[in-house]
């Protein structure tokens, strides 16, 4: 038997509907783990080792790059002011310590610096959107 996409989607729904953070299934020669690491992020299917070779299941594509997460709860801003250019754009190369956005918390504007160098491959939140602690703001490759 092979894990088909409909089965994986049903497992993802069970994960989300029941506020679970992880589901692992093993079926003889194959195994799959769905894990939700951060609130608000869709579950990602990851094959796990089993006794026999594991067949890779069809799943939601895994994001490329390292996630840059919010260190606090607040409101995301991509630029220092409404009429200014964003700190970073997709495709832009950044260095460790570069300011990549602002998270406003309790009327304080907190500049968020990159923890690593690389190229911005995706910005996951839009301007003015509320963010949670640990939520992925962008991916850096």
pTM above the 0.75 mark? no
Please give the Cα distance from 29 to 47 (Å, whole number): 11
Query: Higher-confidence residue: 13 or 94?
Result: 94
pLDDT cut 90: percent of the chain above it:
52
CATH of 66-140, one of 3.30.70.890, 2.40.50.100, 3.40.50.2000, 1.25.40.10: 2.40.50.100
Residue 37 has pLDDT above 70, yes or no: no
Distance from the Cα of residue 50 to its chain's centroid:
26
């Amino acid at each position: 038997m092979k894990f088909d996409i409909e089965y994986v989607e049903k497992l993802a729904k069970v994960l989300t509907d029941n506020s679970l953070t992880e589901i692992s299934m093993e079926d003889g020669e194959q195994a799959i783990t769905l894990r939700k690491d951060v609130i608000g992020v869709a579950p990602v299917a990851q094959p796990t080792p089993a006794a026999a070779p594991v067949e890779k299941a069809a799943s939601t594509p895994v994001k490329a790059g390292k996630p840059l997460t919010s260190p606090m709860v607040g409101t995301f801003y991509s630029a220092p002011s409404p009429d200014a250019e964003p700190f970073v754009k997709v495709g832009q190369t950044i260095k460790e310590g570069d300011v990549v956005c602002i998270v406003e918390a309790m009327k304080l504007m907190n500049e968020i610096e990159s923890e690593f160098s690389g190229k911005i491959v995706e910005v996951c939140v839009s301007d003015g959107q509320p963010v949670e602690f640990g939520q992925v703001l962008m991916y850096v490759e």
